[in-house]
Chain A
Amino acid sequence: MASPDPNARPPATVVQALQSALAGEHAAIYGYGVVGAHLRGRAFTRAQTAYDVHRARRDQLQQLVVEQRATPVAASAAYRLPRPVATAADATLLATELEERLAAVWVDAVADLRGQLRELAAQVLQDVAVRAATWRGGSVPFPGLSEQAR
């Protein structure tokens, strides 16, 4: 089959899918705090906008988890960065990776959710992929799909 094989991971419940996405957004918010500290000008503005978008999405996800009668996962006290960030180039690469990781999280949410929540996840994935491409300066054929990556 040409389609990707998602059978490697078991299906998650609605709450699990939302919590995974929420945990991913928590991590991205932390990461953008680091990113913004190393950027200036237009790039800083772009990071600031992304930070705000992810905070709004975190709030939305917390609300959705509460609607499922569950307690939203909290942010971790600290996150390990993939590598030290010292320059604007480091920060741009980190921002790209933050969005790419989120793309994988949200494509899983698409698979695990149904109905309006699935459509929401697909729309978020588009936003995340656009942000990743803007930082990266180019597109990828299958954002979020490691099994299709080349």
Chain B
Amino acid sequence: MYYYIFEAPKTSQERIYFEKIRDFARDFGIAGEITQASPARTPEELTQIGVEKNYTTIIAIGHDAHINRIVSEILNLNSQAPISLGIISTDPESMLYERWGFKHPQDACEMLKYRKLERFNVGMVEPNHFFITSIKIEPKKPTRIILEVDHWQAETVVDRVEISGNLYILLERYLKPGGVVSSTLNWLLGKTEGKVDRSIFKAKLIKISSAEPLPIMIDDQVIARTPVNIYRKLNALNIITKRDRIIRENRKE
């Protein structure tokens, strides 16, 4: 049996989409217990209730922040029975939508029904914040940070840091645009001003430190401050994924 945790719908369109998911789940024979997060019942509490009731398949439906909170709680509960997670992302702008976004709710329920499971790596910010999306550091002004990664150490000034659940690191430094003349020329020519100096690294373990504590965000929620250690937990979570589709060529005989 499936245990559904819906996010509180933000728009009327989302409400209709959620209702359709419920209907299709019933039609597909994968209906289970349906819950909805609210200020009175957080996604973490609902996850805990689901695990206590011995559900082994939890379906998270909503935006990245909602899904991430459920992921983190599942891994923190460390349940003895292996828990599988189903994801239906409803934010087309989000990272998870690419893999778990569905235009039609029917496709989402089809994925849940066929239960193709894959094990995914998950990032962990000490002491107990897990994430499958990404964490961000966005200081108000360019700030010097020190990164200690595996076998190297780097020092740089950043405007933005993003680290994915697989521990890919993206550092961005917005380079200052030129003087008034070049700015005016760019404006006249319709060119965008300024460049971004990007660095990309892969890591297994990251330590980030800075002179002043910088907030570390997961989906606009501050979860820690620098200095902080970030790890990668390999194959930490079973997640239901889309089936591979076999595309047959249309033959004309």
Asked whether A and B interact, the reply is no
List B residues at the A interface (Cβ < 8 Å).
none
